[in-house]
Amino acid sequence: MKKIIIVLLIIIYTLSIVGCTKENRVIERIDGSLKTYYKLEDGTWACDDHIYQYQLVTKGRMPNAACDSIFVYLSNFSDISFEQAWKAAGLSSNMDDYFSVKDAVLVDCSTK
């Protein structure tokens, strides 16, 4: 009986240690023009309780525009084209052009 209790205590202790993982700390806070987002210690990005693998900055000129536009997305895609970026920024009437929040989020946009 004593051995069973000792084994159970060892299992409980081991499981409690395994459950204590290192928290991914914020190393930088960025106030975008649309959302505040964070660079995390492991190189990922966070915004509104979602984690993204990439910060993508895309720059270009929309059709008939007088100046260039810059879009900053946090994304789990490794690449977003300029056309995808401006359409998903709210300038398309086709809902298929928009990203789901788990895939990408627009955090900043500006003109140059």
Per-domain residue ranges of the chain: 23-111
pLDDT of 5 reads: 74
Q: What is the pTM of this model?
A: 0.77
Q: SS3 string of the chain? A: CHHHHHHHHHHHHHHHHHCCCCCCCEEEEEECCCCEEEEECCCCEEECCEEECEEEEEEECCCCCCCCEEEEEEECCCCCCHHHHHHHHHHCCCHHHCCCCCCEEEEEEEEC
Answer with the residue of higher pLDDT: 9 or 37: 37
pLDDT at 4 (0 to 100): 74
Average pLDDT over the chain reads 90
Mean pLDDT within 37-45: 96
pLDDT at 18 over 60: no
- Tens digit of each residue's pLDDT (9 = 90 or more) over 54-93: 999 999 999 999 999 999 999 999 999 999 999 999 999 9
For residue 108, is pLDDT > 90? Answer: yes
